[in-house]
Amino acid sequence: MITLETEDLLARQAATAFGCAPDALIAFVKRRENHVFRVADGGSEWALKLHRPGYRTDREIESEALVCELMAAAGVRVPSPIRSQSGSHIAHVSSGRETYQATLQQWVPDARPIGDSAQVYLGGRGPDGSTLRELGRLIALMHRCAERTGTPEGYERPAWDAEGLVGDRPLWGRASELPSLDDAARQLLRTAEERLAEDLAALGRSSKAFGPIHGDLTMENILRDKAGLIVIDFDDMGEGWYLFDLATASFFFTNHPEAEGMIRHVVAGYTAERPLGPEDALAWHPLLLARALTYLGWSVERPDEQATAFHLGELLPRVAAAARNYLATGRTGWPDLPLRL
């Protein structure tokens, strides 16, 4: 891990590469998968990201920026990516021992997440119906843009397909490899992964069903400001089933006492802009369970993260129950996709 002093020096190197003044104000914001800073210069503000080394190739990061530009051009509210003085969306900065990729994008002032996923999952107050419908509409606009524009030239991103979700080397790890599982739980999750691998591989991948998606549409990645909702953090975007974004946006509602109503609001907003059909209803439970398993898989190599404690303590028992239901019935026991609104 780099020191705070080195981190600050890298952030200033990166800001300068994007044309910011040497005396620009740079403030640390958060450190998780990446290191994020807020840069203020000449009355403008930007979000500066130092990417985790080795997580994304330059081409993958460029692809993310190009997709965001396409969405912004189509009227979807996303932070605008900034090009460096060299014309690239990426600046390379070095600590002397390691080189980091840095990107810069528009800072969204006076914006807050629409909810806290963990609190809502545990039954706490969630977004109101109007916000949930607005969220569904925003997701539909993203998918409509993706369906129309496809992928930009030179596009390269990992896929949230059967292999990326529950294959031998899934993007976020295998839930069945959690060290804390007993033999019975490990076998249950392994069997669910194997069944899902078959079921997901059978899903259609037409341009109406499969294309560039956000991949991580939790409430923390949807901000509200005075102008409405805006989507941030495309770090995990890639090709996948459009329904997977809806499953992600809905997953943390599944344990809430008002789960059915909350999901109904999201879907109502979505279908006002983009239709869903019987094939989506069939894909709903496989994708919802696959989404749930990714959170457990994410925790395999992150035993000390606060989110891991939540995943093991709160998600694991319920995901295990959903896996048993799915293996027995093809349904998770969580709310169905509501097509009749």
Q: State the CATH number of the domain containing residue 64.
A: 3.30.200.20
Domain termination residue (choose one: 47, 82, 106)? 106
At 195, the amino acid letter reads: R
52 and 160 fall within a common domain: no
- Per-residue pLDDT averaged across 52-73, rounded? 93
Q: What was the pLDDT predicted at 73?
A: 92
Contact present, 283 and 339 (Cβ < 8 Å): no
Residue 340 lies in a domain: no
pLDDT at 72: 93
Find the range with the poorest average confidence among 4-13, 99-108, 238-247, 291-300: 4-13
169 and 52 inside one domain: no
pLDDT tier at 3, thresholds 50, 70, 90? low
- Tell me, yes or no, whether 170 and 83 share the same domain: no
Q: What is the mean pLDDT of the chain?
A: 95
Cα(26)–Cα(44) distance, integer angstroms: 12
- Indicate the pTM of the whole model: 0.94
Same domain flag for 64 and 135 = no
C-alpha to C-alpha distance for 300 and 322, rounded to whole angstroms:
20
Quickly state the pLDDT bin for 2 (edges 50, 70, 90): low
Q: Do 176 and 123 have their domain in common?
A: yes
> Region 318-333: what's the mean pLDDT?
98
- What is the chain's alpha carbon radius of gyration, rounded to the nearest angstrom? 20
Last residue of a domain, one of 106, 132, 154: 106
CA distance readout (Å), 247 to 22, 169, 199, 279: 44, 21, 16, 14
User: How much is the pLDDT for 43?
Assistant: 87
Check residue 97 and give its pLDDT: 80
Mean pLDDT value of segment 199-209: 96
Residues 252 and 218 sit within 8 Å (Cβ to Cβ):
yes
- Do 146 and 86 belong to one domain? no
* Residue range of the domain that includes 241: 112-329
Q: Does 149 lie in the same domain as 90?
A: no
Share above pLDDT 90 across residues of the chain, in percent, rounded to a whole number:
89
Which residue is it, tokens 């804390």? 180
> Does the pLDDT at position 125 exceed 70?
yes
Q: Are residues 166 and 19 in the same domain?
A: no
| pLDDT tens column, 142-180 | 999 999 998 988 999 999 999 999 999 999 999 999 999
Read off the DSSP letter of residue 208: T
For the chain, how many structural domains are there in total? 2
- In degrees, rounded to 5, the angle at the alpha carbon of residue 121 between the alpha carbons of residues 51 and 242 is 60
> Do the domain assignments include residue 337?
no
What does the alpha-carbon distance between residue 335 and residue 252 come to, in Å, rounded to a whole number? 12
Q: What is the pLDDT of residues 24-44, one digit of tens each?
A: 999 999 887 789 999 999 889
Whether residues 225 and 91 share a domain: the answer is: no
Phi, psi (rounded to 5 degrees) for 56: -130, 145
pLDDT in the model for residue 110:
92
Residue 333 pLDDT exceeds 70: yes
Same domain, 239 and 309: yes
